[in-house]
Amino acid sequence: MEKHALALITGILCSPSLAFAGIDDLAETGFIKNSSLDLGTHNIWKYLDEGETDKRNVHSAWGQGLALDYKSGYLADAIGVDASYYGVIKLAAADNFASRGILYDDDGQAKGFNKLGQFFGKAKFSQSGVEGNLYGGWKLIKLGVLTTSMRAAPNTYNGWSGDLTYDAYRLRLAYLTKSLNRDSPDKVNFMTSDGHAIDTIYTGDVQFKTDNLTALYFYGESEDYLRRNGLELNLKQNKSLSYGVQIYMTQALDKWDSMANNKKDFDHRANHYAADMTWKYNGWTTKGGLAYTDANKEGGIGMYPRHMSKNSRGTFNSMTTAGLDYMRDEEKVLSLDVDYHITPELVLGINTHYGFFDFQGQPVKEGELNVYTLWKPASKKLKDLSVFAMIGPGRTYEHKGTSPIVDHHGNIKSADSFAAEFRLDYKFNIF
């Protein structure tokens, strides 16, 4: 049991209202009466056939994830405990499965796993219109510079986090020390790209939200490694039209500067700027976006790093969130997502990106086109069921690290790819 969860849970056990309550009385408290237990199932298959490293590789993995989520009510309307247990069963995997983030890489062997992914104490208060929450332990985090990524299981973090809300304003803070990756049962440290431990990541954000405007500013630092500022805006002009802006600015710190050049994504600063517009009309949703990255790197093609360290997942809500592509130095990107509700339950859509930049006088282009479908039945009995599928080709350039691979004429070599994904999610409420 980690010390952060233990501190809050000890508070629960030592609470006067619990100490003097009998078993029958405890069963009538909000702690028990308002608790819930859900069983989630997550079947996911991901496939990628690519040749970016001058070798043809197939990365694929298929796993069945199970999640048992317990949420307590609040004792004395103030203190509670939540926990989640995750398991992943291996169904199939290629030799190069690891990049799919689904199955456990046990020295090159694809395996299933299980873990206690969340276990945290929680406390809340309300006073004069101010609502507050405090959490301690292993928890899903979508806050500041960090986020949670879900495949067959999610990644979680250990530490303290909390929030304060007043009217249209919200403040959130987090101080984190370890993580559990989405494809592993192992508790690990945050790490630099060259394998050195990072003790903490601390972060926070401030949000202002009304019916037509959401503005979010966030800040965070992986200790002595990277510092990041971000701004996300969303403006609704009316029910049909809305606009978005995302600005992410990252600065290198001492541990980054001390790494060898081949371990760095950029030299000193990396910034990503994006804007998008969404239009909804008669069952159609069309979203288009523009993006630009500034990430200079000596001797190679620099790129914006989405994550604040190894073993963490970084906040990134630009339309260019597609692996490592579309965030190269001086790359301009056009993105488009169009979907149509064939029925209220069934969506069919296309998603495409086109990026271009120059490297040492040569034009470099990359892009992809994906067709996808999503089915979410309207039946109350199946309201927590969703089925998603996507398939499509792509093209980028061959590279070794951040340096492009050239042919005997000195031209940068291109590389084709083909990707597919299937996902089925369903949740059962046990109580």
Whether the Cβ atoms of residue 295 and residue 327 lie closer than 8 Å to each other: yes
Asked if 227 and 235 touch (Cβ cutoff 8 Å), the reply is no
What token pair was written down for 42? Answer: 């997550």
> Using an 8 Å Cβ cutoff, are 66 and 40 in contact?
yes
Please give the share of the chain, as a percent, with pLDDT higher than 90.
81
The two three-digit tokens of residue 120, written as one number: 């945290």
Distance of CA 292 to the CA centre of its chain: 21
**Looking at residue 23, what is its pLDDT?**
54
**Residue range 314-339, pLDDT digits in tens:** 999 999 987 668 999 999 999 999 99
Strand partners, 426: 41
CA 403 vs CA 6, 268, 321, 359: distances in Å = 48, 18, 22, 10
User: Do 151 and 90 touch, CB atoms closer than 8 A?
Assistant: no
List strand residue ranges (DSSP E) for 72-198, in order.
Answer: 79-93, 104-106, 109-111, 113-127, 130-139, 156-166, 169-180, 187-188, 190-191, 197-198
pLDDT given at position 29:
77
**Quick one: pLDDT at residue 48?**
94
Per-residue pLDDT tens for 298-318?
988 999 999 999 999 999 999
pLDDT for residue 115 is more than 80: yes
Residues 392 and 370: beta-carbon distance below 8 Å: yes
Strand partners, 400: 403
Whether 21 shows a pLDDT value over 80: the answer reads: no
pLDDT at 19 over 80: no
SS3 59: strand
| pLDDT class of 239 with cuts at 50, 70, 90 | very high
- Taking a C-beta distance cutoff of 8 angstroms, is the pair 152, 63 a contact? yes
d(CA 141, CA 276): 25
The yes-or-no verdict on residue 3 having pLDDT over 80 is: no
Q: Can you give the pLDDT at residue 51?
A: 87
What is the C-alpha separation between 209 and 261, in angstroms, rounded? Answer: 42
Average pLDDT, stretch 288-292? 98
3-state SS track over 103-139: CEEECCEEECEEEEEEEEEEEEEEECCEEEEEEEEEE
Token pair 């689904």 is at which residue?
102
In the predicted structure, residue 15 carries a pLDDT above the cut 70: no
Evaluate whether 105 touches 136 at the Cβ level (below 8 Å).
Answer: no
> Is the torsion defined by CA of 355, 327, 235, 339 positive or negative?
positive
Over residues 234-249, the mean pLDDT reads 97
Whether the per-residue pLDDT at 18 is higher than 80: the answer is no
Is the CB of residue 411 less than 8 Å from the CB of residue 364? no
DSSP summary character for residue 72: -
Residue 246 CA to residue 276 CA, distance in Å, equals 9
What's the pLDDT at 157? 98
14-18, 128-132, 238-242: segment of lowest average pLDDT: 14-18
Q: How far is CA 32 from CA 26, 39, 74, 125, 426, in A?
A: 7, 18, 8, 19, 25
Question: What pLDDT shows up at residue 391?
Answer: 98
Nearest to 2 by CA among 201, 161, 186, 138: 138
Which H or E element spans position 6?
helix 3-13
* For residue 232, pLDDT beyond 60: yes
The domains located in the chain, with CATH, are 1-14+36-429 (2.40.160.10)
Q: Rounded to two decimals, what is the model's pTM?
A: 0.92
Reply yes or no on whether the pLDDT at 409 is more than 90.
no
Say yes or no to pLDDT of 96 above 80. yes
- With tokens 């993580």, the residue in question is 179
> Does residue 254 surpass a pLDDT of 70?
yes
Model confidence at 400, pLDDT cuts 50, 70, 90, reads confident
* Coil/strand/helix, residue 269: strand
The residue to which tokens 């890489």 are assigned:
105
Q: Which pLDDT value is given to residue 364?
A: 92
Q: What is the pLDDT of residue 377?
A: 94
Closest by CA position to 117, among listed 96, 90, 148: 148
Q: CA 124, CA 112: separation in Å to the nearest integer?
A: 36
Give CA angle at 90 (85, 96), nearest 5°.
120
Residue 12 scores a pLDDT above 60: no
Cα–Cα nearest to 344, from 397, 383, 401: 383
Name the DSSP letter for residue 305. Answer: -
Q: How far is CA 6 from the centre of its chain?
A: 27
C-alpha to C-alpha distance for 153 and 139, rounded to whole angstroms: 13
Q: If you search the block for the tokens 């299981």, which residue do you land on?
A: 153
Q: How far does the chain reach from its first CA to its final CA, in angstroms?
A: 25
